[in-house]
Amino acid sequence: MSTPRHTLSLETPPPGRAPAPAARAGRGRRRRALLFLGLTLALLLGGWAAATGYAAARHGRSLLRTVGDLQAVARGAAPASNEDLVALLDRAPQVAGLLEAAARDLRALDDLTAPLHPIARRLGWLPGYGPEVAAAPHLLRLARAEVEAAQYTVTALQGLPAVLQDGGLAGITSLLRQAQPDLLAAEAALQRAQQERSAFRGERLRHPLVTRLVAQSDAALPPLLAGVRAALVLPDLLGDDEPQTYLILGQNNDELRATGGFIGTAGLLTITKGEITAFDYRDSYQFDASEPRPLVTPPRPYVNYLLIPDWRFRDANWWADFPTSARKLEEFLQHDQGQRVAGVIALDQTALRRIMEHLGPVEVPDFGERVDAANLLDLLDRYAHPSGYKEGYEAPDPPKVTGPDRKAFLGALARVLLTRVQHLEGAAAAPLLQTMRRLLEEKHLLVFLHHPEAADLLREHGWDGALPPVEGDTLLVAETNVGYSKANRFVQQRLDYHVTLLDDLSVGRSSLTITYRNTNTAPARHCDAAVIDFFTADDSCYKSYVRVYVPPGSVLLGMSGIEGSPEWLTEGARTVFAGLLVLPPGETRQVTVSYVPPRGVVAHTATGVRYRLRAFKQPGTEAVPLTVTVAPPAGYRPASGADSTPPAEAAHRATDLSRDRDLTIELQRTP
C-alpha cells in the first residue's frame, strides 16, 4: 500500500477549515515585517520632519533677523541732508552682505519645503491660516525673486556714490550703460516676483506678519520695476548712442489750455552722452515760420471765441490727450522750423516753482536778479507783462526793463537752471527726482517720447498725459481759456457727480455740476461773449470753452449754465459735451451736464453691482474737489466702506483731483 504524497498549496482553505500552521506562521512573519517597515518609515519621516522643521526654523529666525537689519538700513533712505544720502549709498557693501544672507536663507527654506509645496497649495480650506499655507510656496519664491532683484540692482549701482560726488549727468549715463546686464537681470527677477504675487492675489491672508510683509511688497514692486526700467532706457534718452533733441514747452496755467496752459515759451534741448550740448529757449511766437506759408485752419472754437484765422505752434495743444497735442506740436515744428525731436516735455508754473525749491536761489546775471521759489512767479509776470503790453495795463513798481522779447528773462533763467541741473553736486539729485515724480503724477509735468520702451513706461504710470480707454465710467473736465487773459489765477472750481441706477442696474442718468467762483474784485470788463480783443481784454472776466469728456456713446440730455446751445462732439475715444462759460468777477455760476452713458459702465457681481469711475485731472489745475454720489435702485444699498445718507442710502465718495482718481463703489442686495 502506497503512502499518500503531500503537496504545498497556496490556496485559501475552504470555509470552516483552519489554515495549516505553516501558512499561519508565514502570514505572521509578513505582518511583523510590514509593521517593522511601517515603524521604520514613520521614524524616518518623523526624523526628516524634525530635522527639516529644525532647519527651517533656524533659517526662518535668521531670515527675520536679516529683514530687521535691512529695514533698519532702509529707514535711512529718506535722509535729512545730501550728505546723509551719500553716507547711505556708501553702505552698499553692508546691504549687499545682508541681501546675500537673506538669499541664502530663502534658498534653503525653499529647498527644504519643496516636497511639501504641491500639498500646501491644496490646503487653502484649512481653518485659520489655510490661505497662508496655500500661498506659502509662492510667498517663498516671491521673496527670493525680490532679493535677487535687489542684489542685481546693488551690483549695478555700486559705483553711484562716486558718480554723485563728482556730479553731472555724463557720469550717470556712463554708469547706467555699463550696468545694463545687471539691470536686465534685476528686471527679469522683478517680473518673476510679479508672477508669483499674481498666483495668490485672490487669497485673503490673515496672519499679521504675512499681511504686513505682503503689503510692503505690493507697495514696493511697482516703483522698483519702474525705477529699473527707467535706468535701462535713460542712457538712450540722454544721448549715449546719438544726440537727442527734445521740445520743451512752458505752459502758463494762469491761462489754462487743455494740456495745462497757454504755451508762452518753448525751447529745443539737445543732449549728447549726458551733456547738454545745445539749448535755445524763447518766446513761442518766435517758433512761427520765418516765411509766409498757407493758412492752417484752427479748431472751430479758436475761430469762434478767439478770432484766430491761422493755426500756429503756440495754440497747438488743443487736445486734452497730450500725446495727440504733442504730435501736432511736432508737426508745426517740423513744418515751420524744419526741426525733428525725440519727444515733447511740458511743464507749467507750478512745476517750475517746485523745481526752484530744490535748485534755488540762483543768480541770473543777464538781468541782475536773484531768483528763488518765493519771488519766481512775480518776477516772471513783471518781465513778461510790462506796462502797456495791453491797453491801460500798468505794471507794479518797480518796473522791469525789457526789450522786444518779453520772455527773454525766462529764457535766461532756464539756461541757469539747466546748468545747475547738469552739474548737480552730491546727492542733491535724489530729492529733485522725487519731486519730478510727484509732478508727473500730478500732471504739472507731461512727457511724450518716441523711444518705445520709455513710452511704454510713461504710459503704464499715466505720466504721458494720455486719455487711455478704461473699464467702467470715465470723466474729465477740460478748460480752455478763450478770454485772452490770465483769469484762471482767480477762478475756483468744484465738481459734483451724481449717478442714478435703474432697477435693471444700468445707469439711468449721470449728472455733473461744475461750480465756478471768480474771486477777482476788479470792475467787470469784456464780459460780453461777443467782445473779443486781445489788446483790451483784462483778467476780470473769465471766458472758458468747457469740455466734458464722458464714455463713448453717451447721450446728452441737457447742458445749462453756458452761453448758447451745447455742442456734442467726438474726440478720440470719448464723447464730449462742450459750451462757452462767461463768469464775471465776484460771481459764482454752475454748469450742469446731464446724460445717459452706454451700458457696460457698471459690472455685476455675485452679491450686487460694482460701479467704477476713472476721474482724470486736467493738467495745470490744482486739487479740484470732487464728490461722487451713486444712488442705487430699490432693494440695494451701499456695501461696507461706502458712506451712506438715509433715507436714500446713496453711496458717496469725496476726494480731490490732485491727480487722476480711480473710485470703486460696491452696492449689494438688501437682506
- Cα(285)–Cα(97) distance, rounded to whole angstroms? 58
Q: Which residues, other chains included, contact 444 with Cβ-Cβ below 8 Å and sequence gap of 6+?
A: 260, 347, 348, 350, 351, 354, 619, 620
Given a contact cutoff of 8 angstroms between Cβ atoms, the answer to whether 432 and 417 are in contact is: no
Dump pLDDT digits (tens) for 233-261.
Answer: 999 999 999 999 999 999 999 999 999 99
Query: In the predicted model, what is the mean pLDDT of residues 591-597?
Result: 97
Amino acid at the residue 484: Y
Q: Is the pLDDT assigned to residue 360 strictly greater than 90? A: no
Q: Is the pLDDT assigned to residue 21 strictly greater than 70? A: no
Angle at 651 between CA 646 and CA 657, to 5 degrees: 135
Q: Is the pLDDT assigned to residue 45 strictly greater than 70? A: no
The three three-digit cell numbers of residue 517, written as one number: 467762483
Q: Is the pLDDT assigned to residue 347 strictly greater than 80? A: yes
Q: Is the pLDDT assigned to residue 392 strictly greater than 80? A: no
- Cα(622)–Cα(3) distance, rounded to whole angstroms? 116
Give the length of the chain. Answer: 671
- Cα(567)–Cα(577) distance, rounded to whole angstroms? 6
Residue of higher predicted confidence among 165 and 19? 165
Residue of 462, 466, 467, 472 lying closest to 440 (CA atoms)? 462
Helices of type H across 157-207: 160-166, 169-178, 180-198
For cell 440695494, the residue is 636
Residue 271 is inside which H or E element, if any?
strand 262-272
Q: How confident is the model at residue 76 (pLDDT cuts 50, 70, 90)?
A: low
- Cα(413)–Cα(415) distance, rounded to whole angstroms? 5
- Cα(121)–Cα(136) distance, rounded to whole angstroms? 8
Dump pLDDT digits (tens) for 612-622.
Answer: 999 999 999 99
Residue 637, Cα to own-chain centre: how many angstroms?
32
Residue of higher predicted confidence among 223 and 477? 477
Backbone torsion region of residue 173, taken as left when φ is above 0, otherwise alpha when ψ lies between -120 and 50, otherwise beta:
alpha
Residue 531, Cα to own-chain centre: how many angstroms?
42
Query: In the predicted model, what is the mean pLDDT of residues 643-671?
Result: 81
Residue of 342, 313, 348 lying closest to 329 (CA atoms)? 313
Residue of higher predicted confidence among 427 and 4? 427
C-alpha pair distances (Å), 427 with each of 94, 435, 469, 633: 19, 14, 39, 57
Burial class (CB in 10 A: 0-12, 13-18, 19+), 265: buried
- Cα(418)–Cα(344) distance, rounded to whole angstroms? 17
- Cα(243)–Cα(240) distance, rounded to whole angstroms? 7
pLDDT of residue 640: 66
Given a contact cutoff of 8 angstroms between Cβ atoms, the answer to whether 599 and 627 are in contact is: no
Residue 598, Cα to own-chain centre: how many angstroms?
27
Residue 62 is inside which H or E element, if any?
helix 21-74
- Cα(544)–Cα(542) distance, rounded to whole angstroms? 6
C-alpha pair distances (Å), 483 with each of 138, 242, 283, 349, 530: 59, 43, 20, 19, 11
pLDDT of residue 111: 80
For cell 500500500, the residue is 1
pLDDT of residue 32: 59
pLDDT of residue 650: 78
**DSSP code of residue 14:** P
Q: Which residues, other chains included, contact 264 with Cβ-Cβ below 8 Å and sequence gap of 6+?
A: 250, 251, 252, 255, 283, 284, 314, 384, 407
For cell 461773449, the residue is 529
Residue 668, Cα to own-chain centre: how many angstroms?
30
Residue of 202, 196, 6 lying closest to 106 (CA atoms)? 196
- Cα(319)–Cα(315) distance, rounded to whole angstroms? 10
Dihedrals φ, ψ of 425, to 5°?
-90, 150
Helices of type H across 480-524: none
**DSSP code of residue 2:** P
- Cα(472)–Cα(397) distance, rounded to whole angstroms? 53
Which is it for strands 650-657 and 624-631: parallel, antiparallel or unpaired? antiparallel
Q: Which residues, other chains included, contact 47 with Cβ-Cβ below 8 Å and sequence gap of 6+?
A: none
Q: How confident is the model at residue 644 (pLDDT cuts 50, 70, 90)?
A: very low
Radius of gyration for the chain, computed over Cα atoms and rounded to the nearest angstrom: 34
- Cα(299)–Cα(28) distance, rounded to whole angstroms? 100
Computed from CA positions of residues 239, 244, 249, 250, in that sequence, does the dihedral angle turn out positive or negative? Answer: positive
- Of 111-115, 273-277, 418-422, 542-546, where does the model show the most confidence? 542-546
- Cα(259)–Cα(445) distance, rounded to whole angstroms? 10
For the ranges 163-172, 374-383, 474-483, the lowest mean pLDDT is seen at 163-172
pLDDT of residue 16: 52
Cα atoms in the 13 Å half-sphere on the side-chain side of 133: 13
Dump pLDDT digits (tens) for 622-638.
Answer: 999 999 999 998 888 88
Task: Say whether 310 sits in a helix, a strand or coil.
Answer: coil
pLDDT of residue 349: 96
Residue of higher predicted confidence among 305 and 80? 305
C-alpha pair distances (Å), 606 with each of 603, 609, 666: 10, 8, 11
Beta bridge partners of 511: 498, 594
Task: Give the number of other CB atoms < 10 A from CB of residue 352.
Answer: 22
- Cα(622)–Cα(491) distance, rounded to whole angstroms? 11
Residue of higher predicted confidence among 196 and 497? 497
pLDDT of residue 223: 87
The three three-digit cell numbers of residue 213, written as one number: 510683509
Dump pLDDT digits (tens) for 442-499.
Answer: 999 999 999 999 999 999 999 999 999 998 999 999 999 999 999 999 999 999 999 9
Task: Say whether 347 sits in a helix, a strand or coil.
Answer: strand
Q: Is the pLDDT assigned to residue 37 strictly greater than 60? A: no
pLDDT of residue 646: 42
Q: What is the mean pLDDT of the chain?
A: 85
- Cα(552)–Cα(96) distance, rounded to whole angstroms? 52
Q: Is the pLDDT assigned to residue 12 strictly greater than 70? A: no
- Cα(411)–Cα(399) distance, rounded to whole angstroms? 19
Residue 240 is inside which H or E element, if any?
none
The answer to whether the bond into 452 is cis (omega within 30° of 0) is no
For cell 504686513, the residue is 212
- Greatest distance between any 2 Cα atoms in the chain: 152
Q: Is the pLDDT assigned to residue 228 strictly greater than 70? A: yes
pLDDT of residue 7: 46
For cell 504721458, the residue is 464
Residue of higher predicted confidence among 26 and 448? 448
